[in-house]
Amino acid sequence: MKKFSLYIHFPFCIRKCHYCDFYSVILDPSAVDSWTTALLTEIDLYEARFGDSQIETIYIGGGSPNLIGSKKIRSIFESLNTSFRLPNVREFTVEINPGEVKPDFLKQLKDIGVNRISVGVQSFSNSELTTLGRIHQVEEVFATFKILNRIGFDHLTLDLIFGIPGQGPGSWERSLKQAVEMGVDHLSLYNLIYEEGTPFYELKGKKKIVPTASELEWRMYELAHRWLESQGFQHYEISNWAKPGCESIHNSSYWKESYYLGLGPAAHSYDGISRWWNIRSVDAYIKHLSEGKFPVEDREELNEYDREIEFLFLSLRTQGGLPIGKFENLFLIDFKRVIQKLAQRIGSDEYWIFVGDSFKLTPAGWFVCDSITNHILEIVEEVRNDHKKMF
């Protein structure tokens, strides 16, 4: 029996944040009704392909999933329970945003088996929240967690952003400490990225906003690593910290290249052979499903080189690191040669350590993970080309 993770994308928000590149549109109640009907149809269509599989995790993200409403979330759950095997779901996560949450909705989540809530806090500074374009204030974060703690979910996680214009180490440290005081057992921390097509990207291009210097971002990242570990959190992935045993099972499935099915506009899926993704449009998504057609925009089959890149990139993101033996079998290359050349290029080995048969990045290495990964891929190609010239 195949096992897979399920992601559902709810594409509606009350207002788009200045930095957000995820697909979302402004809330329209009638469109939410049509989205729900389309989603239930998509679940039915996939039953033939995945109905004999077992769902390991469910994650409903967005957007602002807390805007779905109690009745609709119940109907979605009942449809999933009819089409797939839910009794063995290990983790059921729903994202929420402070200031938009109704107690009845959270109680409904608890009743249908949601055991993990992810709260998009982003900062415990009202001025930073305003800069980001968030609609909530810090006081609403406290009110939301008061409700969550009263209802009693198994796991609570929250997101924070660092590198916000005007943010310094002092403000960042206060947000970290306040987050831990909320009683969460998991934290996801992201440095602000200026994605093309976002208001922040345009402001940056017009020089109306000044990005935080890389050196300062590193100080904040290192501060988070050091302080959270002192509080009993393990830095188990490049952007994620958790109390022991509280790691995100759903997100870990992506890093382990497990199978996953994505439902909703712009959602991605992977079955071990190919990857496909849905149309990035609510209207087109609804139209396709109203005609009984899968709302897939495109798909790609992964070749050997694609698999090499993903294995390398995903392994280096995690606490477990890159298994050297598996790397050598996959890339057919001596790992020592690669690391020797890498050290020559970078001029320092402070970015990695060896633990048994694993090559692991340090926090400093994680901070420049993309660069290190690209260097390794370039070195692999150089060594292969040198080998070809010998014959």
- Please provide the CATH number assigned to the domain covering 304-389: 1.10.10
pLDDT at 388: 57
CATH class of 3-255: alpha beta
* Global pTM exceeds 0.85: yes
State the alpha helices, DSSP H only, in the chain. Answer: 29-50, 70-83, 103-111, 126-132, 138-151, 169-181, 199-205, 214-230, 249-255, 282-290, 304-316, 324-331, 335-346, 363-367, 369-389
| CB contact at 8 A, 295 and 48 | no
Sign (positive or negative) of CA dihedral 279, 282, 283, 289 = positive
* β-bridge pairing 358-361 and 322-323: antiparallel
Report the candidate in 165, 5, 204, 180 with the shortest Cα–Cα distance to residue 93. Answer: 5
Task: Give the Cα separation of 299 and 319 in Å (integer).
Answer: 31
Q: Domain limits of the chain?
A: 3-255, 304-389
At which residue do the structure tokens 């077992």 appear?
Answer: 54
At which residue do the structure tokens 């899926």 appear?
Answer: 269
What's phi and psi for 315, nearest 5 deg? -65, -45
* β-bridge pairing 3-10 and 260-263: parallel
pLDDT at 391: 42
* β-bridge pairing 54-62 and 91-96: parallel
pLDDT at 165: 96
Per-run averaged pLDDT (10 residues), the chain, 391 residues:
91 95 95 97 93 91 95 96 89 94 95 97 98 96 96 97 97 98 98 96 94 97 98 98 98 92 97 95 98 97 88 95 92 89 87 95 96 93 69 42
CA neighbours closer than 13 Å in the CB half-sphere of residue 304: 5
